[in-house]
Structure 1
C-alpha cells in the first residue's frame, strides 16, 4: 500500500491524532510497557533459532536472555520468542529498528511483552478490519492506524501459504484511540477497496449474543447472464454494499453463485430474509449467510449427530443386533424369523462391497417390549446349524466400553478376573486339537505327556498344585462319554453346538475353552490362558461366534490385551 493511500484515508483525523513518527511507526516512549526491557517477537519462521535472534538483537544493546518457545513434545518452534535486554532504552530502540525486519524470509513483529493475561484478553482497544486488499501487510496496517494512537499489536491474518486472508486486527493502548480509528476509517477505501472497521469480538462473544450477526451473504442459482453490477443493484436495495462478486471460471463464465458483503449486519439479514427464494430469469435464488468451509462442515456434522441421536433415542431398546447367521439368510428370511414378536419397522442383513453376507443383521421393532421378547426367545436358538446371537443394538464405542467394564470388574491388581483362574489348556502339545468333549486320542492325555503337570502359562508347579488339579478336572470332563452325534451335524460348529446342548453346565465352559484356547494361542501365546478365561465369561452364543469368526476373535483379543495392559499399569 502506498504511503499516499494511508495518508489520504483520514486527513481530518491526522491533525488531532498526530502521534506517529515520520515513517508511520509508533514512538517507543508512547508504547505500553515503555520502561520495561522484555520484548515479544512474533511471526517467526519455524527454523529461526536463538542464535539468529541474538545476532540480530545484540546489535541494539546487551541482551540478557532469548528464548524461542517450542512444543513440549516435538520441540518445534511455536513461531514466537521472548527477548530481554539489560536496558529499557535498548528494548524501545529494538522495537523502532527491528520491527518487520526479515529473518529467514519472513518479517518479524516486535512489541513489548504483556505478561498480564487479563490485559491481553480484555479486548480493550482491539479493532477488526476486513475487506483488506491482499497487498496490505502487517507494516502497512500499522502505518495506516498509528496516527490514531499508541498501537500494541497490528496483524493481518494469513493462510498456510503466507497470503493475506483479507482481514486483520489492530490493538490500541486505549479504547479512545480504537474508537477514533473506527470512526475515521470504517467505510473508507484502502488500495481502492472499501474496508469495514469495527470493535473486535471473540467467537464466544459473537455466539452468545443471541442470533449470530453477519455481513457476508452467499447467493446461488444465478443466471449465466447476470452481471456483478446487476447483482449489486438488487442487493443494494436492502443496505449499503461494500463488495459484490459473481464467481467465474477461467474463461469468465459464471459459476452460478456469488458473494455480497454489507456494511452493516442489518442489511445482510434483510437481504437473506427478502431475497431467499427470489426468482429471476426462471432461476430461484438461494440466499443465506456466507460460511467458511470448516464452519459449514461443523454445522452439518452437528446436524447429522443431532439427527442420529434423535433416531437412537426413538429406537432405544427396540433395535436388535443379530449375528452368526447362516450364509443363505437374506432380508426376507430374517423377517420371517422375527415377525412373530411384533411389528418390524426395518430389517437388513449386512453385506460387504461384493454383496456377500457378513453373517450379521439389524432388526428394528415398533416398541422395546417387542424387541425384548425377541431377545428372550431367539438368543441362542439354533437356526440351521448355527446358534443365533441376538442382543439390543449398541454403537461400537458403547460395546467396547461395556466389554472393558466387564473385564475390569473382574481384574484385581494381579491382572486377572477376580475369583477366576486363567483357563488351563488341554494337556499335551500347545495348540492341541479340538475334541468337543470327546475323549482325546491315545498319547494326548495322562500324566506321561510332556507339559501335563504345567500350571499357568506353562510354568512348572509343585506336585498336587493348581495346575495338576486343573488337568484332573479336564481329564474327568474329557473322559466322560457323550451321546452320539446327530447325522445332520455335518460341520465342527454344529458338532460343538450339539455337544454344548447335551453337556452339563459345569462341563460347558471346559468344552468351549478347549475349542477357543488354540485359536487365541495362535494370536498371542503368552497371554492365551488369561484371555481365554476372560472371554469364557461372555455369553455362550457370543463365544461360539468368536470361535467361528477370526475377525471378531481378533478384535476381542485386542480389547482383552488392552484391559490387561491397563490393569498391569495400575498395579505397578
Structure 2
C-alpha cells in the first residue's frame, strides 16, 4: 500500500493528521477508497514501538479525486479523533498572514468538522479549525480558532458569522489576540500592509518569470508552403499554389566566391 515519498504525485496526495494510534494503512485505504481511486497509503511508524506517528499520506489517482476526498472526509472521526486533512502540496502555497479569527460561545457538541463546514465557505484555510479542549476529558471549552490565507476571507467570516446561531447557540466571531502577550488582536493595518506587500511581491516574481521565458519562434523552413489555407485565398493576386517563399531573403542569388561576377 505504501509508496516512496519522492515518487508520489504531491498534487494528488492528502496529508492526514491527528490519527489515533490504532489507525493503520489498511483502515485508511478502506476509508478513503470510498471517495475515489486510491494509489497508495503511507503512515510513518516509530522504529522502536512500531506505532504510527499520528499522521499519514493518501495518494489518489488524480488531483480532482484528492480535492473531493478532502471536502467530504475532513474532520471525520476515527476512534473518536477528528482527522485533519490537507493537500500535501498546500504548505508550498499558503502561509500565515495573521488572518486568524476567534470563535466564542460554542456549544459543547460543536466539533471541528462543524466549524470547518460553517467557515470554509468564506475562503481557504491554511490549517484545520482548532477547538480548545480540556486535555483530560477532551470536552470543548467553548471556543476555537480558524486561520485563513487572506484578510478578505477573515473579514467576510467575521461580518457574516458574528452574532449568528451555530447549533442553537449565538457565537461571537472576532480577530484573535496575537500570541506575543501585548493584548493586540490580529487584523491590524500593519499585518494587512505586509500581507499585501507579500502578495504584490509574488505577483511581480510571477510576471518576471513569465518575461524571462525564451521567445520560441516556430521553425519554418524556407520555400515550404503551408499545408492548409482557406479556399480561394489569394495573396498579391496569386493562386494558392503560387505562393511566394515565406522568407524572400532566401531567393537572393548566391555569389560564386571564385568569380564574384558570376552567380550560381
TM range (shorter): 0.5 to 0.7
Match of 2:107 in 1: 133
Q: Which one has a bigger Cα radius of gyration?
A: 1
Tell me if structure 2 keeps the 8 A contact 1:182–1:197: yes
- Give the root-mean-square deviation of aligned CA atoms: 3.1
- Give the TM-score normalised by the residue count of structure 2: 0.54
Could you tell me which of 23, 37, 40 is aligned with 1:65? Answer: 40
- Secondary structure of 2:144's partner? strand
- Secondary structure of 1:197's partner? strand
Following superposition of structure 1 onto structure 2, how do residues 217-232 of structure 1 map, counting pairs within 5 Å? Answer: none
Match of 1:196 in 2: 172
Could you tell me which of 136, 148, 153 is aligned with 1:172? Answer: 148
Output the CA distance in 1 between the equivalents of 2:133 and 2:41.
26
* More off after superposition, 101-110 vs 125-134: 101-110
- Deviation, structure 1 residue 117: 6.7
Q: 2:137 matched to 1:145?
A: no
Output the CA distance in 1 between the equivalents of 2:88 and 2:145.
18
Q: 2:2 matched to 1:42?
A: no
Change (3 A) 1:52 1:135: same
Match of 1:53 in 2: 28
Output the CA distance in 2 between the equivalents of 1:137 and 1:63.
27
- Give the TM-score normalised by the residue count of structure 1: 0.27
Q: Deviations over 1:66-101 (max 9, x none)?
A: 222445654443432221223111112212332343
Following superposition of structure 1 onto structure 2, how do residues 112-511 of structure 1 map, counting pairs within 5 Å? Answer: 112-114=87-89, 116=91, 119-120=94-95, 122-152=96-126, 153-160=128-135, 161-191=137-167, 193-203=169-179, 206-207=180-181, 209=182, 212=183
- Structure having the higher helix fraction is 1
- Deviation, structure 1 residue 167: 1.7
Greater RCO (Cα-Cα under 8 Å, separation 6 or more): 2
- Deviation, structure 1 residue 108: 2.5
- Deviation, structure 1 residue 45: 1.8
Output the CA distance in 1 between the equivalents of 2:17 and 2:173.
24
Output the CA distance in 1 between the equivalents of 2:90 and 2:123.
22
Output the CA distance in 2 between the equivalents of 1:36 and 1:118.
12
Match of 1:89 in 2: 64
Change (3 A) 1:77 1:199: farther
- Deviation, structure 1 residue 104: 3.1
Change (3 A) 1:77 1:129: farther
Tell me if structure 2 keeps the 8 A contact 1:123–1:200: no
List gaps (5 residues or longer) in structure 2: 1-9, 186-264
